[in-house]
Chain A
Amino acid sequence: MSIADWLSQRESRRYTKAGAEAAGGSNDVPDGVWVKCDECKRTLYEGELVESGRVCRYCGHHLALTAPERIELLSDEGSFVEFDAELVSCDPLGFVAVKSYNESLEKAREKSDLPEAIVTGRATIGGMPVILGVMDFRFIGASMGSVVGEKVARAFEAATEDSLPIVLVTASGGARMQEGMLSLMQMAKTSAAAQRHAEARLPYVSVLTNPTYGGVTASFAVLADVIVAEPGAIIGFAGPRIIEQTIRQKLPKGFRTAEYMLNHGMIDEVVPRAALSEHLGLLLAYLSGATAVAGGGAE
């Protein structure tokens, strides 16, 4: 399927409730089927999982959400308007390993029904206008290449331009290897855009979800005014295998979970999914002081 065909088939009502359900849960199981919790391995009813925001009723484990599911959970109903959906990855290096990058991209688009690993747009949260960006781990591990970097930078610029707060929900394996140095440089690009937004005294809240690694953690994800994480989310720089190979020992239990990083002073708070949307509203209200006083025209 060509990119153009795929895009034309894409359902425009993805961000309504019906659309989100049509896009399917993270476990690729149709409605009415039983799903196993990744953590406690107990069986959960899919219909119930949709109701609970995909949180296990037995152990409280937060299962992965797709970007459309997350947007629906966080933003006021019907408020989300996507931008930059027309940006899609090409293959700047002609990268072919076991399979070609183009093949990986095509598979990722089919699997996720998304054009890239992040969805960005305008929304309201608790009635407050924001720029919202959500990463989707199904798309090549939500790795950051040129398009993800560009969409994040544009999201910060849109927020700066319109004096808006920005909320970014991260999940990522890190920089996208298949675009080489172009990917690495997206770390600097997104950090620079975040810096400009910060200089305008505008609020930025990041929500780190499972897992957030590598070049995304080491750039825009942790540059927020307030860093929130979901319970149990793994947050780190290097991949676990790389660390074990380097130091030649097993990693301690619970290493780099949100709770572990909280204890080490690296994040502000761990907020359960059910309380997340309301909590973001509260945070943004606290952080909007400068914007309100300056009438949005900081600098």
Chain B
Amino acid sequence: MTRRKYVMDFERPLIELEEKLAELQRLDLSGNPELLEEVNALAAEVEHLKVDTYQHLSPWDRVQIARHPERPKTQHYVEALFEDVVELHGDRAYGDDEAIFAGLANLSGRRVAVLGHRKGTNTKENIRRNFGSPHPEGFRKAMRVIRLADKFRLPIVSFLDTAGAFPGIEAEERGQAWAIAESLSLLSAVKVPVVVVGIGEGGSGGALAIGFGDRLIMLENAYYSVISPESCASILYRDAAEAQTAAGCLKMTAPDLVDLGLVDQVIPEPLGGAHVDSATVMAAVGDAVSTALDALSGIDPQELVDARYERLRSIGEWCTIDEG
């Protein structure tokens, strides 16, 4: 058994037991039937614990899985699902933000525009890509490609995986809020289908800027939230360590968001998370995106935009009180 590079807190007891079991199984126990029986019992226990650990995930456990360094990222989906990929660079105003991927690609015979937050797979990449947290120029690059898709009638596929828009001095000075707001109004009005897939983290406005459309598909352990659980905890509890509690309160997991009527489809992940069997998960995402695009492709462009507007307009819950 290969030793795992990265272990999430909640799976630590299981991993430790698995390693102990592996050690025991390496021993030659043919002359010791009693011990062999015990090892077999332990194996059954490990299997039981595995199912128990991964089938009863708390919202905070899911956040850990969503952030897992080995979890498939936008670039992996782009490589696995699309052909003839042309990456497009730059916002034509300031720079090229590597925290956002934007390009043109072929999804099983259908030409599309692809957007996504892009985290790195190693430290070097992560520094260049700012750990997937875009600056305004990243959103402005996305907007440029959204306009291009609208102009040439290319459906848009967008992959969400960001802790959030970067909160820094320069990002503020260059109009982080302006870039997000403009992307929201643009995306609300494009006359091509927009299919969004939450593959990992869906952090607040930075996710939303390329994160709504005609369909929202989410991986089982992806999250989408108004605020990170850590920030929520530090505001409400004055203690970031309460993030576990906040993750539950915020109703940010894919199953929660189905209950709130915000998510159209949840793609199941193998026990332990998408990184356990990336190929299968990515293929399932490809199928779901194609099916969604098939369903949206015949719709009249104005009807599509009107339906998207109605979809947004229906979000929210309140009470009505008779005055006087």
Contact = CB atoms under 8 A, between A and B. Distances in A.
B312 interface: yes
A196 interface: yes
Given A184-B205, A192-B312, A195-B185, A177 B227 contact: yes
Contacts of B205: 175, 184, 187, 214-215, 218, 237
A120 B208 CA distance: 26
Query: For this complex, into which size category does the number of interface residues on chain B fall?
Result: 35 or more
Interface string A245-264: 01100011001100000001
A187 B184 contact: yes
Contact of A98 (B172, B226, B236): B236
B42 interface: no
A298 interface: no
Contacts of A242: 167, 231
A179 B227 CA distance: 11
B266 to A, nearest CB: 14
A186 interface: yes
A221 B181 contact: yes
A237 B226 contact: no
B250 interface: yes
B247 to A, nearest CB: 11
Nearest to B240: A245
Contacts of A98: 236-237
B255 to A, nearest CB: 13
Contacts of B208: 184-185, 187-188
A217 B318 contact: no
Interface string A233-244: 000111101110
A189 interface: yes
A189 B308 CA distance: 10
A93 B259 CA distance: 10
Interface string B164-194: 0111110111111110111011111100000
Contacts of A192: 184-185, 188-189, 308-309, 312-313
A10 B226 CA distance: 32
A88 interface: yes
A96 interface: yes
A82 to B, nearest CB: 10
Nearest to A214: B205
Contacts of B318: 87-90, 146-147, 150
B225 interface: yes
Contacts of B186: 195
A84 to B, nearest CB: 9
A29 interface: no
Interface in A189-248: 189, 191-196, 198-199, 214-215, 217-223, 236-239, 241-243, 246-247
A264 B313 contact: no
A7 B70 CA distance: 54
Interface string B292-324: 000000000000000011001101111111111
Nearest to A175: B226
A7 B319 CA distance: 13
A149 interface: yes
Interface string B232-250: 1011110000000110011
B7 to A, nearest CB: 26
Nearest to A196: B309
Interface string A94-134: 01111000000000000000010000000000000000000
B14 interface: no
Contacts of B234: 241
B169 A189 contact: no
Interface in B130-188: 165-169, 171-178, 180-182, 184-188
B324 A96 contact: no
A153 interface: yes
18 contacts: A4-B321, A7-B324, A12-B324, A115-B321, A146-B315, A146-B316, A146-B317, A146-B318, A177-B235, A179-B226, A179-B317, A181-B225, A184-B204, A184-B205, A184-B225, A191-B181, A238-B176, A247-B169
For the complex of A and B, list the 9 residue pairs with the smallest distance between their C-beta atoms, beginning with the closest.
A146-B316, A238-B167, A192-B188, A191-B184, A217-B177, A218-B177, A92-B317, A218-B180, A237-B177
Interface of B: 165-169, 171-178, 180-182, 184-189, 204-205, 208, 212, 224-227, 231-232, 234-237, 245-246, 249-252, 257, 260, 262, 308-309, 312-313, 315-324
